[in-house]
Amino acid sequence: MAWLQENGALVLMGMVFLFLMLRGPLLAHYYRIGSMSVHELSQRLAASPSPLLIDVRTPAEYAGGHVREARSYPLGSLGSKVEEVKKAARDKEVVVICRTGNRSLMGSVTLKRHGMQKVYNVPGGMMHWEGQGYPVKRG
């Protein structure tokens, strides 16, 4: 017990760190959010029907470079735009992308909470998309 009293702050910090590290995978599992690689996304965008691609980054980030087919729905306003997204998606898969895959996971959770079923997150996001040499539209 003395050890815990002496190291309680360190234990608490470790628990918080562990929670933050596991939060994404836990949310993805709980909400049954699929994962789509940038390679698979590229193939799906070239196919018919192509998925609806949602970019949840800020308008400035989006303008700095985005996947040509992506529609901008910043994460901060996505909750109020869900009906618009549902209308645009119809029966299509919805793929959510951001810079690294963290905000897009939160956006995916928002869509799933509002009843959307076929929702996928892109781990690695635009950093991975650009890093793999896929085309980016500026502006």
Nearest to 61 by CA among 70, 52, 48: 70
Angle of the 102-113 helix axis to the 82-89 helix axis, nearest 10: 90
Adjacent-strand bridge partners of 137: 66
Q: Exactly one of 41, 98, 111, 122 is catalytic; which is it?
A: 98
Cβ neighbours for 16, distance < 8 A, ≥ 6 positions apart: none
Q: Is 21 a catalytic residue?
A: no
The residues annotated as belonging to the active site are 98
